[in-house]
Amino acid sequence: MTLLPQKKTNSPQSEPLNLASFDDRAAITAHIRQLCPYLDDEDMTISATRGHKNMALARLSEIDPENYGKTRNHIGGKVTRLSPYIRHGVLSLADIRDVIMSKVKIRDGEKLIQQMAWREYWQRLYRVNPEIIWQDAEDYKTGFSAQDYADDLPEDIAKGRTGVSCIDAFIGELLEQGTMHNHARLYVAAYICHWRRIKWQAGARFFLSHLLDGDPASNNLSWQWVASTFSHKPYYYNLENVQTFSPDTLDTSQENNAVLMGTYEEVYVRLFPNLPTPE
């Protein structure tokens, strides 16, 4: 969208938005509200993620590759939060690799470099096989076929009001901040595909319309990996796993997350009743 600061011109269509002409973020918000009166308060939440190369470089200087390897699966772990800058071309993977190598020995930076390699891998797959971005790469390995899955995302998921407390908190962050930790993405994607039996494409569309790092290759191929249309088995989890990797501030109580409860075997049998019981 092309937006103009009204204080500089009366002709909103004539020049692109110049952020520097606003005194602060509140002034930008007020301007956007004026241009888009149909947006309600929920739509007007401004993400804490800030644009600009300086912001990206500041965040890059703070990365902690050694602790990244040890804590990255924890929702409050030392992840870089660089993905929006990578996605929009503000930082390259080579920029980040150079900073990693300047901070630690290759052995201690390995995990972070590996994760960036996943991004590159998805990009290359997309380039070679553009058709698998929206089509099932393979059949589901869940004991169900594609027609057993719903086409559309129900409103309770789209609004983050499923009644499953941790899932709603993760979706809330997506809606308000445009971000979500990798482990939370896995939890929410599996909840949508396997607990609710909705096509991964509906979930992928939902994520892409809110993520600041929304990227068809990383997003859709990760969704297919969770769904099992691009992996040999479905990804699933149980409440105990969420409790292990979540901070105390997240409500992971049994009473508010009942559908996620059970041993791995119990959850598996519940989600995939047509598959043989795992040994």
Ligand X SMILES: Cc1cc2nc3c(=O)[nH]c(=O)nc-3n(C[C@H](O)[C@H](O)[C@H](O)COP(=O)(O)OP(=O)(O)OC[C@H]3O[C@@H](n4cnc5c(N)ncnc54)[C@H](O)[C@@H]3O)c2cc1C
Torsional class of 33: left (φ above 0), alpha (ψ -120 to 50), beta (otherwise)? alpha
Pick 145 or 209: Cβ nearer ligand X: 209
Of 116, 158, 169, 261, the residue at the interface with ligand X (CB under 6 A) is 116
Pick 35 or 158: Cβ nearer ligand X: 158
Q: Nearest distance from residue 218's CB to ligand X, in Å? A: 4
Q: Nearest distance from residue 76's CB to ligand X, in Å? A: 12
Torsional class of 52: left (φ above 0), alpha (ψ -120 to 50), beta (otherwise)? left
Q: What sign has the CA pseudo-torsion 52, 53, 58, 62?
A: positive
Q: Say how far apart CA 2 and CA 241 lie, in whole Å.
A: 44
What are 270's two structure tokens? 């519940």
Q: Say how far apart CA 80 and CA 17 lie, in whole Å.
A: 29
Pick 80 or 142: Cβ nearer ligand X: 80
Of 99, 164, 211, 267, the residue at the interface with ligand X (CB under 6 A) is 211
Q: Is 51 in the site for ligand X (CB under 6 A)?
A: no
Q: Nearest distance from residue 91's CB to ligand X, in Å? A: 9
Q: Is 186 in the site for ligand X (CB under 6 A)?
A: yes
Residue 26 burial (10 A CB sphere; 0-12, 13-18, 19+): exposed
Q: Say how far apart CA 161 and CA 171 lie, in whole Å.
A: 9
Q: Considering only the stretches 28-36, 102-110, 112-120, 253-261, report the one whose residues sit in contact with ligand X under the rule CB under 6 A.
A: 112-120
Pick 81 or 161: Cβ nearer ligand X: 81
Q: Is 224 in the site for ligand X (CB under 6 A)?
A: no
Bridge-partner residues for 198, per DSSP? Answer: 150
Pick 192 or 239: Cβ nearer ligand X: 192
- Applying the rule CB under 6 A, the residues between 53 and 82 that interact with ligand X are 72, 79-82
Of 66, 136, 185, 236, the residue at the interface with ligand X (CB under 6 A) is 185
Pick 74 or 270: Cβ nearer ligand X: 74
Angle between helices 53-61 and 93-103 (to 10 degrees): 30
Q: Considering only the stretches 2-10, 134-142, 167-175, 217-225, report the one whose residues sit in contact with ligand X under the rule CB under 6 A.
A: 217-225
Q: Is 136 in the site for ligand X (CB under 6 A)?
A: no
Amino acid at 189: A
- Applying the rule CB under 6 A, the residues between 225 and 254 that interact with ligand X are 226
Q: Nearest distance from residue 13's CB to ligand X, in Å? A: 31
Alpha-carbon distances, residue 11 vs 1, 7, 20, 68, 248 (angstroms) = 15, 10, 18, 48, 51
Residue 89 burial (10 A CB sphere; 0-12, 13-18, 19+): exposed
- Residue 164: count other Cβ atoms within 10 Å of its Cβ: 24
Pick 115 or 238: Cβ nearer ligand X: 115
Q: Is 122 in the site for ligand X (CB under 6 A)?
A: yes
User: Where do contacts with ligand X occur on this chain (CB under 6 A)?
Assistant: 72, 79-83, 86-87, 115-116, 118-119, 122, 181-182, 185-186, 189, 207, 211, 213-215, 218-219, 222-223, 226
